[in-house]
Amino acid sequence: MVFRKPPDGGWGWVIVVVSFFTQFLCYGSPLAVGVLYLEWLDAFGEGKGKTAWVGSLANGIGLLASPVCSICVSSFGARPVAIFSGFMVAGGLMMSSFAPNIYFLYISYGIVVGLGCGLLYTATVTITCQYFDKRRGLALGLISTGSSVGLFIYAALQRELIELYGLDGCLLIVGALSLNILACGSLMRPLGSSSSPPPEKMFVDKVPDQYFVYHEKEKTVEENISILEKGYIDEKCVNNVPDCKQDSVLNKNVLSSINVNEKDTYKKKVVEQTNFCKQLAKRKWQLYLTYWKETMVLFKNKVFSALFVAILLFDIGGFPPSLLMEDVARSANISEDDYYMPLISIIGIMTTVGKLILGILADFKWVNTLYLYVMTLLMTGVALFAIPFAKSYLTLAMLSGILGFLTGNWSIFPYVTTKTVGIEKLTHAYGILMFFAGLGNSLGPPIVGWFYDWTQEYDTAFYFSGLCVLLGGFLLLLAALPCWNACTNQSSKLPPNTYSYKVASNA
């Protein structure tokens, strides 16, 4: 399929709008799952660690399955995947309203909704990249704010729906709202491709049937030759009946001399096809070996190795506040009358602001994006250490805003990855890093919940979270300091096409 040149506008802006609302509708509830988390604790009476698995799976499973999501979008297209995933998200939310226990929620909310969100994220990013080239950064930035706006609105919406209709009614209504993803998906029109059939198919349609005798695998060489012989004799008998017997005798003599050539031709084709299959299998194996070799080369890069540890530790420690902050406020005995806005909503709106501001800062030439990313990690660790000392709504709201703003460093993470491994290795490296990010998202909230179940307070849990993030930030800083200057000094000596990767390898 050959796509037209990206228009950088036109229907592309419709794609941006529907992709924004798609991420808004699918990620709103999973990101604001902290509101539901409190209700599930009361409804099922399970431990905080076990209950936290629901939200962590919903947010982490999409990242863990990102390779599968990419294959689905590449094979079927963005529009079919978006429509199918819309049914998954809506169905998973509605099924969760009938959950008899926490284990049912692991499947319905954690896996079904989480996988649907992962598919929708891949579909929206893919089709947006197809429609935009020069304005791709702006388009991706606009659609990425959909999830943050969804977190801001859904936190308050789910809280209000629970008060009016209960937990089950809230999930049913939110699931029904998610059905609007189907309308958004239907508008994801493919950019366009050539409608003419492939040249190979046109040529195959014109080939006479008798030339396909060698492709019938169930027939032996002798059977194929007998078919040729019978067809030739029958044709002569129909056209000239008196000469049928005479021609048949002559044809047998002629075909007997042809049989050797026919057999040789058939054997030659079999040998050619066998060699082709062997070469194809060998090529596939070489591709797998090349993939693992490139992966090993990436991990020889000190900065990349530190980056994958940093993103894993950051998601283990930095993601739990968005899920558990409401329960932290309840554990601190903060009255609901003091609530001006849900803490998760504050995190959501500040994440949007952080994505925009940090993304703008990363575009300045005098800003080193790696150091900027390290700074956000270190500040996040300090903010996590401060949570146990917050005993009022105002202090928790301030910390929620700071954490939300710093979580916006997701917008500069692709810049950091590109600086580390180079544009040639970006796709490979980013897929690996996203897998570890999903692993951190899945493990973080349950670990913090288990700390609470063990100590019956959140102080130790957030000390652990802050320590994880600080450790990741310091490791990345130590790995970056000696090599970053070397990269700058050697940049003029390296070929432009291999600059980033060679520098990263030397690091």
pLDDT per position as a tens digit, 143-178: 878 888 888 889 889 989 999 999 999 999 999 999
pLDDT at position 24, please?
Answer: 93
Supply the pLDDT for residue 87.
95
Give the helix ranges, DSSP H, for 179-198.
180-186
What domains, with CATH codes, occur in the chain? 1-193 (1.20.1250.20), 301-487 (1.20.1250.20)
CA dist 70 → 112, 120, 122, 274, 431 (Å) = 17, 10, 6, 32, 10
> 86: Cβ–Cβ under 8 A, 6 or more apart, which residues?
26, 116, 120, 178, 179, 181, 182, 184, 185
Summarised one tens digit per residue, pLDDT across range 19-32 is 999 999 999 888 88
Quickly count: other Cβ atoms within 10 Å of residue 250's Cβ.
12
Residue 266: its pLDDT value, please? 61
Q: What is the pLDDT of residue 272?
A: 66
Q: pLDDT tens digits for 255-309?
A: 455 555 555 676 666 666 776 676 766 676 666 677 667 777 777 888 888 888 8
d(CA 206, CA 183): 42
Q: Give me the pLDDT at residue 191, please.
A: 77
pLDDT score at 116: 92
Listed as ranges, residues in the chain with pLDDT below 50 are 1-2, 194-222, 224-225, 227-229, 231-233, 235-239, 241, 245, 250, 255, 483-485, 487-507
